[in-house]
Amino acid sequence: MALALGIDIGGTGIKGALVDLDAGELASERVKLPTPDGGEPEAIITSVRQLADELSDLSGTALDDVAHIGVCFPAVVLRGRTMSAANVSERWIGLDADTAFSEALGRDIHFVNDADAAGYAEAVFGAARGQRGLVLMTTLGTGIGSALIYNGVLVPNSELGHLELDGRDAETGAANSAREREGLSFADWATRLTRYYGYLERLFSPDLFVIGGGISKQHEEFVPLIDVRTPIVPAALRNNAGIIGAAALATEHQR
């Protein structure tokens, strides 16, 4: 069994687990800690070290015995640096996260965008496994994260929730947070999603859309109402996609 450690940092929680990269599934219990208030780099790095130690104790597997470690985070990541910050401190902007987390964990890690990690996991192990051509995954949550995968190769940092639609960021009106904030029915929300995915379709001509995020558990309520040409499927790996994708990308990075 090829084991790697995946850690998924979010605005409210940090979760991680050992991942069986042969099967594309968790190989240990999942440990979750709250994201420290304010989302400051030092506090989050300390929490990640605590999570790794707890996971090592629970699984009986030392960090040194894990082949690779991947960490994903809600930011544009360029060569290991975080170039944006969503729901965390602005002090992340420009931070050499790769080095900071490597020093805290005592070994090399690979740092990636969270939507990219989730999308890659779905392409390799989940809803888009075996799909040729262009897969476009979106995560519908507080904002809209995105991942582009072409014939199994990730095109990183697409940030398609920030495309301008009707004079504003598309995620402002189409994210799940907009549905909740405005009290939209699933049918009314699907009308907005049709406009958004239709726009993506015109720009990219994808072969498959994958919809993730927590709301994808209720995909029967809205996915059939999205009227576009491209097939749309819900994500298969749910809340474990970031963990699995971060671990898989760390392994791929070392090849």
Residue 129 has pLDDT above 80, yes or no: yes
Where are the domain boundaries for CATH 3.30.420.40 in the chain? 3-116+240-253, 127-236
CATH superfamily of 3-116+240-253: ATPase, nucleotide binding domain (3.30.420.40)
The whole-model pTM stands at 0.93
CATH superfamily of 127-236: ATPase, nucleotide binding domain (3.30.420.40)
Specify the pLDDT at position 178: 96
Give the pLDDT band of residue 255 (cuts 50, 70, 90). Answer: low
Torsion over CA: 147, 70, 8, 80 (sign): negative
Specify the pLDDT at position 165: 94
pLDDT digits (tens, 9 = 90+) for 234-244: 999 988 999 99
Specify the pLDDT at position 1: 67
Mean pLDDT of 27-44: 95
Mean pLDDT of 194-202: 98
| Tokens 């995560």 -> residue | 139
181: CB partners within 8 A, 6+ apart: none
pLDDT digits (tens, 9 = 90+) for 47-65: 999 999 999 999 998 888 8
Least confident window among 58-62, 184-188, 221-225: 58-62
